[in-house]
Structure 1
Amino acid sequence: MTRRLDHTTRQSIAKKMREGVRPDVLAREYGVTVRTVYRCAQFMREIQIERGSRTETVVCRVSPADLALFDEKLQEAGVRNRSEALRNVIRNVGGMAAPDAELAEALLAMKGALNKVGNNVSQIARRMNDAKNRGQALPFSETDHTEIRHLAGMVLDFADEVALMADGRRSTLELKVSDELKNLAKRGV
């Protein structure tokens, strides 16, 4: 004969399981099967979900400096509750987590230029190695040296453009997050 558990007992089993008590220990303690313990936990979780309770946990590791900066931004915006601020960011993620199409397009265009630069560098290295292996002087004229310097300048310019695009994206995201935090503060979170 199976034992019928009341609601309070089911809640107790589910709570202890969330706290980390092993199902086999709970089964012995309550005189039920391990399967019943799992069913109780699932049943109570479904009730929580139906009621709109918060059943999921989001874990994110950050550096102490990042967390201090986040807390500082919350304080500046007048937000008192870190958890509610994160829930609001999740609810209103909108375009913040979406890939930046403009940045992706610009990087794709730069990929072709970078491939050309890479090919040129390979040719220069091959010519230098050939000359070295033959014991000859480097086969570059003053014009070649100028072109090499120009090539190096292109690579540095490319790196600067990528950094500027990334900084622009970061600034845009910071503005969106700041706006959301201000909205939270207005609601008195």
Structure 2
Amino acid sequence: MASRRRLTPAERQEIVRERCKGVTHKALAERFRVSERTIYYTLRTEKDRRRDTRIRTKQVSVTLTPEELHSFDEVLARHGVSSRSAGVRLLIQSANGVFQPDQHLAEELKSFRAALNRVGNNVTQIAKRLNEARAKGIAPFFGDHSLAQLRLLSGFVLDFADQVDALSRRRVSHVTLEAHKALKEFSDAPE
């Protein structure tokens, strides 16, 4: 068993660096003549210190089209944000207020789902009647009433699609406004 001794700050930093390179806890314990438990505590303490002092250790990567990147740069410039990384950081920090579940959107989609289920049931009933007639060798009755029903159903589906599109556009517009507010708020605040 390794003898007990105190690690110097330089040794602690070296342990963190070596562990990041993939050196095992056991090898580090032998090298620095401490227990494996000391290595675990050293790494955990450093992780807590970095978190508490807000040292940035994680990266986020995103792939964009040239147009998306140009639009993002324009928004950053308009709000006086100095760099892309600062802009992304500000959006992430403010995400709690921007990307909240939208109760109104959820309720609207729930009512749309119920209406779409009714349409689906009607289409199923029409198809069932046509299949039963064909199975019996009878020419299926498809009169003016059935045609009117199909026209109503197709009209409803088109209206439904338009309503979902309008709803999603309103939501995107709302999120965009919230993101702009967040960027403006952070760009005005001292860093």
TM-score normalised per structure 1:
0.82
Q: Contact 1:11/1:40 (CA < 8 Å) preserved in 2?
A: no
Which residue, 9, 20, 39 being the options, matches 1:7? 9
| Per-residue CA distance 1:32-89 (angstroms, 9 max, x = gap) | 3433322211122223334x22356364x53322862434432343312333333333
Change (3 A) 1:142 1:99: same
Change (3 A) 1:172 1:19: farther
Q: Report what 1:26 is aligned to.
A: 28
Which residue, 115, 127, 146 being the options, matches 1:113? 115
Structure 2, unaligned runs of 5 or more: none
Mapping of 1:97-112 within 5 angstroms?
97-112=99-114
Q: After the TM superposition, which of the residue ranges 120-129 and 27-36 deviates more from structure 2?
A: 27-36
Mapping of 1:1-189 within 5 angstroms?
1-50=3-52, 52-54=53-55, 57=58, 59=60, 62-65=62-65, 68=69, 69-187=71-189
1:174 is displaced (CA, Å) by 0.9
**CA–CA separation in structure 1 for the residues paired with 2:18 and 2:54:** 18
| Per-residue CA distance 1:98-146 (angstroms, 9 max, x = gap) | 1111111111222221121111011011011112212222221022112
Structure 1, unaligned runs of 5 or more: none
Q: Secondary structure at the match of 2:121?
A: helix
> Alignment length, in residue pairs?
187
Q: After the TM superposition, which of the residue ranges 24-33 and 176-185 deviates more from structure 2?
A: 24-33
**CA–CA separation in structure 2 for the residues paired with 1:72 and 1:110:** 36
Q: Contact 1:131/1:138 (CA < 8 Å) preserved in 2?
A: yes
**Which AA in structure 2 matches 1:64?**
L
**CA–CA separation in structure 2 for the residues paired with 1:25 and 1:117:** 67
1:28 is displaced (CA, Å) by 4.2
**CA–CA separation in structure 2 for the residues paired with 1:15 and 1:6:** 14
**CA–CA separation in structure 1 for the residues paired with 2:83 and 2:159:** 43
**Which AA in structure 2 matches 1:38?**
Y
Q: Secondary structure at the match of 2:97?
A: coil
Identity of aligned residues (%): 35
